[in-house]
Every structure is written in C-alpha cells, then in structure tokens.
Amino acid sequence: MQIYPASKSKKLNNICKKLSLIINSEKFEKELRSMGDFDFSSDSDGRVNGAEVWLSFVKCRWDARVRFYKPWWPWSKVNGYYNPSKGLKYIFINSRRFYKRSERSCAETILHEVIHLIDYADKTRFFGHGDNSPIGKSESAPWKISEIIIKNFY
Ligand SMILES: [Zn+2]
C-alpha cells in the first residue's frame, strides 16, 4: 500500500512520502507483527493481534489518498477521519488544524486513519476503537500502532 496526497501541500506531500516508506519497510513489519492483542478487536477466534493486522495490511489492495477538508465550525477539535461512505480510499484531514500542528503529529493522525481504512477493507477482522473519545483507547489498534510507529520510525 502507498499513501498519496490528494490535496496540494508540501507538508502533506512530505508526510505521505515518509509514511509510505515506513509502512513498506521491514522495520514496520517486524514492529507490527510483535504487537499483542488489541482492545476493541475481534475475529473468528478472539481478539486481533499485530501479526493479524499485518496480514490485513498485506491483503489490502488499495492505496490511501489523503485529502483536506475544512470544517464549517472553526473550533472543531477533529484532526481527521475515515468514512467509507465518503470514498473507500480517502482519508480526510482537517486543514484548519493541519498547518498548526507538527509534522509528526499530523503523520500520526494519518497513520491512525490508515489503520481504520485497513480495518474496513478486511471483512474478516475488526480492529477499530468504538466511539470517538480517545479516553481508554490507547490499546486499540489505530491508537497504539500509530503512536508506536511514529515514535520509533518517523
Ligand atoms: Zn480512530
């Protein structure tokens, strides 16, 4: 899988390039496959671990496209979202916040949304995090994978 920018921005371009390299690296494979069971996950035989999310990554034939959106409400705290009904391969990033945030922090958001995309694409496993509050979700696949990978490899 590759991650491509779908809006014009040098910063977004850099992040997408760097993230694409990371998720296709052996380091990423090794780190992800070593992760244990995630909270809020399930499949036919229980919970989903890092090795299984890795299989979903490999199976996914989609390239992700990252596009800006501008929320109507200027104080929206949402950094980004994935909603398959708005486009299966699209990740939406809040442009009002994007330019105020560090590159690493934005990269973490995009990787988080990529995990949602991979989760949606694979109908045999579920590894989301339920509602949108981040409280108590640090062991879910989207929060944990993006945090660890950005911290270690970005
Ligand atoms: Zn999420």
pLDDT tens by residue, 27-53: 999 999 999 999 999 999 999 999 999
pLDDT surpasses 90 at 134: no
d(CA 112, CA 50): 14
Other Cβ atoms less than 10 A from the Cβ of 145: the count is 26
Residue 45, classed as helix, strand or coil, is coil
Distance 36 CA to ligand 1 centre (A): 19
Share of the chain above pLDDT 90, in %: 96
Residue 131, classed as helix, strand or coil, is coil
pLDDT surpasses 90 at 133: no
Other Cβ atoms less than 10 A from the Cβ of 50: the count is 22
pLDDT single digits (tens) 79-128: 999 999 999 999 999 999 999 999 999 999 999 999 999 999 999 999 99
CA dihedral 99, 100, 106, 110 (to 10 degrees): -60
* pTM greater than 0.85 (yes/no): yes
Distance 105 CA to ligand 1 centre (A): 14
Distance 81 CA to ligand 1 centre (A): 7
Q: What spatial distance separates the first Cα and last Cα of the chain, rounded to whole Å?
A: 17
**What pLDDT is recorded for position 149?**
98
Distance 49 CA to ligand 1 centre (A): 17
Distance 26 CA to ligand 1 centre (A): 25
Distance 44 CA to ligand 1 centre (A): 22
Helices (H), the chain: 10-23, 26-33, 50-59, 95-98, 103-121, 141-153
pLDDT surpasses 90 at 132: no
Using an 8 Å Cβ cutoff, are 44 and 10 in contact?
no
Distance 132 CA to ligand 1 centre (A): 7
Structure token pair of residue 117? 């995309």
Distance 118 CA to ligand 1 centre (A): 12
